[in-house]
Structures are given as C-alpha cells and as structure tokens.
Structure 1
C-alpha cells in the first residue's frame, strides 16, 4: 500500500506535469526566459519565502518528533537565509537595486499563497500544515531535476545556478526529510485529518502552478488603476 506522499503525488499527477510543461519552466530550462520575467519571479519568491519560513517555524513548534522539530526549524532558517543569498546573487547579476525591487509590487498570487500557508499554520492541524508545506520542496526538486536531466550542455544557461540549487543532493535530502515527516503524520492520523492533508497538499500544488504562471504573466493587480 503506497504511503500518503506517493498517493498525494499520484492524485496530482496532471498538475505536476503541467508545472513542467509551463512556458515559464520550459523557457527557464532553455535559458530563453526573459530577464524581466525572472526578475519579477525573484521579487515574488523572496517575499514568499518570508511567509514560507514563518509557516515552517510554526511546524517546528508543533512537531512531536525531535528530529522533525530540527528539520523544520532548519528549513525555516534555510528559506530565509540561504535562499535569500541565492536571490541576492541574482539581484546583483541582473543589476537590481533595492529601489528596483521595491517598484515590483507583490502579486495577487504571491499574497494569496503566503496567506494560505499562514492561515493553515494558524488554524490547521500539524499534519495538515506540513502537507501544505511539502509541495514547495517537492515540486522545486521535481522541476530542477527534470531540467538538469534534459539539458544538452551545449550552451550556457543564465539560470544554471537556480537549476543546480534545486537539483542537488542536499536539496533532495531535505525533500526526503519532509516527505518522511508527512508520511509519519499521516500514518497516525484519522480519516478526516488525512482527507484534509490531501486537500492541503493539492491546494498548495495548485498555488505552485499559479506562482509560475503569475511570474510568466508578470501578474499585476487588476484594480491598481482604481487606487
């Protein structure tokens, strides 16, 4: 019998394939993604990671297993410190100043995704919360490894550092740790809780797709002109 994570991935297979086939990720893989779209993505991702880190910190405080407490606390630090360093390297590479970043408004999708995770952190159970957090780990690994496996190596990709970050063994180990924590939580959960875990996992996968899509569209607030 498959564990919770394997079943959750099977249930969202169409979403996972659609993420890989999204124009943002196809252009990222080819190195043809416009710098403007990547800059917009970086600005949104930097803001998302703050909310993601806070939700991870809440998961750490609720984890019944000391090993899971250590993992989620460490992941919260990684989200805020290590990944921000990756962003800052790209900010420098693309000549983005603080003023440039401030001029990029937080998108509706970025705000919605972070608000969703923080709402689950506040009102949901521990199993539901970590099920909602897992897609950000797992889908990034899935995208990074897929791109790396299909690269020809003929041309230099300006986004190679991003690809390598999410395709390396250290990140894969973090994904495994998160999956193991979710599977353990599901094993002891009742059917109502497991159902909520599946719903949270699926919704977070949808938000991952929306995040890529909003970056490709450089999503703006449709009400901006009414302010």
Structure 2
C-alpha cells in the first residue's frame, strides 16, 4: 500500500465531513451567503500568503534540483494561478487585493498558519510535505466532488469559478505530483517516523475543518 493510501484512510471520515459541511454544500448549490464567502476569501488570501512561505522553506531545504523545481513550481502556482480566482472575486466585492493584507487574521487562520510555519522551520522535507498536502489534496477532493454532483447546474452558480479551479485537470495533476513525491520520500521510513508523519497530516486535516467552521461562522 502506498503511503498516501494510508494517509487517506486515516482522514477518510474527516474529509467526508468536509463534503457535508454547510459552507461546502452551499457553494455547490450556489446558495452560500456572499458575505460569508467574502470573509472566507479574505482569510484564505491571508492564509495563502503564509502557505507559500512554507513551500519556500521546503525549497531552501531541498537537496536535489528536481525537489527544488517541485517547490518552486508550487510557489508559482499558489501566487499566480490559485490567487487569480481569489483576485477576481475580490474585484467583484470591491476589495483592493493590495489592501487585503491590512486585515487581521482570525484566530483559526493564525493558528493554522503558525502550525505549518513551525513545521516548515523545524521539520525535514517529509514533515513539510505532510503539513502542506492536506490543503491542496482536500481542495481537489472537494472540487471534484462538487463538480461531479453539480456539473449540470453550474452555469448560474456564483461559485462556478471556484469549483472549476479546484476540479480542474491542472489542479488534480498538481496534487498527483505531490502524492507521488511523498510516496517516493516515504518508501523506507520506520514505523515511528510514519506515525509522526501521519500525525502531522491528521492535524493539518483537522485545521482544514476548523477553517470551514470559521468561514461559516460556526
């Protein structure tokens, strides 16, 4: 069994609950309160800034050119591709993207990003990969699920660009690259190290649930 298969089995129940979360369900239905989505966008934009820094720490610690290119490409994708969807929505809400960083992080955003940055500073490449993968992989998991469920009714859905971003072939391919990278890194690890890595993956997955709760105002 691949290590990513073990990771998925660990979080299968939690990720299943993502799909039942009212914030996620209402995005798919197109019924989510736009004010809630606006607040989520701001916090997610603040999150992505710190998220990219964790990849940058991985870039610094990478030894091979292939690993360096992997981290570099991911940083570029976060700053250019993923934030583009956010930027377009911010324009709709009349928010200057350059002023988003004047907003304060909510406690969940601060706690989650601080956790990841701590792993980035102290951890090795395997630990860094564990803390960053749940975000990208679970968003692809959510995006694909929403697209498959609502693809016939997306045309009039305000959240169509968000769903299409995270269900896109490109985003899925990016997740697969990272999963393959992790499986290569974790081929010959000890049971103790595997336990530590699974714990990091689980904690980041739980933080993702906290983020959805925060976004919905729960």
Q: Normalising by the residue count of structure 1, what TM-score does the alignment of the two structures yield?
A: 0.89
In the alignment, which residue of structure 2 is the partner of 1:4? Answer: 3
Partner of residue 80, structure 1: 79
Does 1:200 find its partner at 2:203? Answer: no
Residues 100-109 or 15-24, more deviating = 100-109
- Residue 100 to residue 23, structure 1, CA distance change in 2 (3 Å): farther
1:40/1:104 contact within 8 Å kept: no
SS in 2 for 1:150: helix
- Residue 18 of structure 1 and its aligned partner are, at CA, apart by 0.6
Q: Using the alignment, how far apart are the partners of 2:98 and 2:59 within structure 1?
A: 34
Shift of residue 85, structure 1, vs aligned partner: 2.0
Q: State TM-score, norm by structure 2.
A: 0.93
Give SS of 1:95's match.
coil
- CA contact under 8 A between 2:46 and 2:101: conserved in structure 1? no
Partner SS, residue 32 of structure 1: coil
* Counterparts in 2 of 1:50 and 1:100: CA distance versus 1, 3 Å: closer
CA-CA distance at 1:61 after TM superposition:
2.5
**Structure 2 residue aligned with 1:107:** 106
Structure 2 runs not aligned, ≥5 long = none
- Report the counterpart of residue 54 of structure 1 in structure 2: 53
Aligned residue for 1:96, secondary structure, equals: coil
Instruction: State the shift of 1:100 in Å.
Output: 8.0
Partner of 1:143: 142
Query: How much has 1:73 moved relative to structure 2?
Result: 1.1
Distance of aligned partners of 1:71 and 1:103 in 2 relative to their CA distance in 1, 3 Å threshold? closer
Higher alpha-carbon deviation: 185-194 or 145-154: 185-194
Name the CA distance, whole Å, in 1 between partners of 2:9 and 2:49: 29
Instruction: In structure 1, list runs of 5 or more residues that go unmatched.
Output: 220-227
Q: Cα distance 1:179–1:152, how it changes in 2: closer, same or farther (>3 A)?
A: closer
2:9 and 2:97 mapped to 1: Cα distance?
42
Q: Kindly report which structure 2 residues correspond to 1:22-41, keeping only aligned pairs within 5 A, or say none.
A: 22-41=21-40
Tell me the CA shift for residue 5 of structure 1.
0.6
Q: Aligned Cα RMSD in Å?
A: 1.8
Secondary structure in 2 matching 1:105: coil
- 1:35–1:94 Cα contact (<8 Å) kept: no
Kept in 2, the 8 Å contact 1:148–1:163? The answer is: yes
Q: Once the two structures are superposed, what CA deviation does each residue of 1:175-202 show, in whole Å capped at 9, x if it has no partner?
A: 0011111111111322222111101100
Distance 1:137 1:161 in 2: 17
* CA distances 1:108-146 after superposition (whole Å, capped 9, x unpaired): 010111101100001122211101111011000000000
- 1:131 lines up with 2:130 in the alignment: yes
Shift in Å, 1:36 = 0.6
